[in-house]
Amino acid sequence: MDLDQFAALRTPEGSAALDAATERAGGDPLAAAGALRSAGIPAGLAAAALTQAELRRRAVGKFGPEAAGMFLTRAGLEQATRRVVADRRADRLRAAGVRTLADLGCGLGADALAAARAGIRVYGVEADPVTAAMAAANAEAAGLADAFTVECGDATAFDVSRVDAVFCDPARRRAGTGRRIFDPNAYSPPWDFVTGLAERVPHTVVKVAPGLDHALIPAGAEAEWVSVAGDLVEAALWCGRLAAVPRRATLLREPPPTAAAVPVAHHQLTGSGAVEARVGPVRRYVHDPDPAVVRAHLVAELADAIDATLADPSIAYLYADAPGETPFARCLEVTDVLPFSLKRLRALLRERRVGRVEILKRGSALEPEKLRRDLRLAGPEAASLVLTRVADAPTVLLCRPVG
């Protein structure tokens, strides 16, 4: 989409086209395009409206009801922060005394809108003209145009002395192709500029990919990994006065998609990220830590909290004699432990009349779906299989979930 196409969507004719496209979102795209053309809507405008309607439908999971009035791009939607995460970040900034914020590389404005809702004055900078125009339109649709303004330009040229905090979410996809960038120095803005912000602004937050190499974390920064309903969604670096602990794992609950603003329960596990967990045998219960805990290198802290050990020092399954209630891990009761053998496992599942299995794995090269087919399951019972290593030997645990 270019600026002219976006401008056309903002006209009364464009609004009518969006309304017509919304009625058909999620259906057969060819039939929807034909229906809009039959209604007299020009082909180009119909295509743009249908694209927006489909993106808005997909965006409800991230933004809730407000997605219905937003303008979106495919790449922008994929990289945009979920509202539940953005709102919590904005609350933390507000609690730290932040009153003015520069969002460098604001994209479609998800984080900036959350900050504006929290009472923070936001100055957004976005290099792509269409995305910048969409971010401004999204601020207008949310009634926040006075609190969040957008300029199209180079984020590295923004005068950060104008604000008391900076948020930066560097682009990690190549413009035009959408392909992921794995070299931080190829981000936009580049990594050296991003990490240098912490030396210039006392309150700096950087959104990064969850797979960030710990070696890239600046000295003195707090690194936080965030999961929503068990799905690891992002990591963030809290720098300067915002850094409270070396590592943090935050677990959030996704609010209902129809809820505009619901208080969100969250749990946090903190620590140094440098502690090693004790190693011991497989015990009656196995705990599967939340991915935010694993990525934050806080498995040892969790092990201490639930009196658990590792069976292999390189694999993040924790074993304990008691189920140990914790929001940071899912618990399964181990009924059988056996060295991996397809023949023996198939015979055991047939004996137990297991016809349905969930398959979890860490430290195993086996492909779960292929294993499921090879097991030739039949029967009324269900079970959980954990494929792992114990003392460096391929091992399978037959388990049942603990309520």
pLDDT of 180: 77
* Euclidean distance between CA atoms 204 and 168, whole angstroms: 8
Tokens encoding 312: 């292999």
pLDDT score of 259 more than 80:
no
Cβ pair 103, 38 in contact under 8 A: no
* Euclidean distance between CA atoms 368 and 137, whole angstroms: 45
The per-residue pLDDT for range 270-316, each reduced to its tens digit, is 999 999 999 999 999 999 999 999 999 999 999 999 999 999 999 99
**How far is Cα of residue 92 from the mean position of the Cα atoms in its chain?**
18
Tokens encoding 273: 């990220």
Cβ pair 195, 172 in contact under 8 A: no
Beta strand 381-390 pairing with 354-361: parallel
Beta strand 247-252 pairing with 222-228: parallel
The per-residue pLDDT for range 328-368, each reduced to its tens digit, is 999 999 999 999 999 999 999 999 999 999 999 999 999 99
Question: Closest Cα to residue 313, out of 226, 403, 392?
Answer: 392
Question: Closest Cα to residue 14, out of 6, 22, 23?
Answer: 6
The per-residue pLDDT for range 221-253, each reduced to its tens digit, is 999 999 999 999 999 999 999 999 999 999 998
Q: Residue 44, by phi and psi: left (phi above 0), alpha (psi -120 to 50) or beta?
A: alpha
Percent of the chain with pLDDT over 70: 96
Strands of 62-217 (E only): list them.
Answer: 100-104, 121-126, 148-152, 165-168, 203-208
State pTM to two decimals: 0.92
Tokens encoding 111: 């984080």
Question: 342 vs 172, 347, 349, 387, CA distance in Å?
Answer: 41, 9, 11, 12
The per-residue pLDDT for range 7-61, each reduced to its tens digit, is 999 999 999 999 999 988 888 888 888 899 889 999 999 999 999 999 999 999 9
**How far is Cα of residue 267 from the mean position of the Cα atoms in its chain?**
16
Q: Which amino acid is at 325?
A: E
pLDDT of 20: 92
Please list, in sequence order, all residues whose beta carbon lies within 8 angstroms of the beta carbon of residue 143, skipping any fewer than 6 positions away: none
pLDDT band at 133 (very low <50, low <70, confident <90, very high): very high
pLDDT score of 141 more than 90:
yes
Cβ pair 79, 107 in contact under 8 A: yes
Kindly state the average pLDDT of the residues 54-80.
Answer: 94
> Poorest-confidence range of 22-31, 112-121, 155-164, 286-295?
22-31
Question: Closest Cα to residue 110, out of 91, 87, 92?
Answer: 87
Beta strand 393-401 pairing with 381-390: antiparallel
